[in-house]
Amino acid sequence: MFLGQEFPILGNWFIIHFTENNGMAFGLELEGDFGKLFLSIFRILAVTGIGWYLVLIIKKAMPAGLIVAVSLIFAGALGNIIDSAFYGLIFSDSSYRLATLFPTEGGYGKFLFGRVVDMLYFPVVQGHFPHWFPIWGSEQFIFFRPVFNIADSAITIGIFTIILYQKSFFSMPVKAQENRVLLINKENHDEQVHCFVSLS
Closest-CA residue to 2 (of 113, 91, 129):
91
Q: How many helices (H) and strands (E) does the chain have?
A: 4, 5
The Cα–Cα gap between 52 and 31 comes to 30
Q: Which of 33, 83, 93, 118 is catalytic?
A: 118
Beta pairing, strands 125-128 & 116-121: unpaired
- Whether 83 is catalytic is no
The Cα–Cα gap between 23 and 28 comes to 6
Chain-centre distance for alpha carbon 106: 30
- Whether 190 is catalytic is no
Q: Which of 33, 83, 93, 152 is catalytic?
A: 152
Burial class of 135 by CB neighbour count within 10 A (0 to 12, 13 to 18, 19+): exposed
Catalytic residues: 118, 152
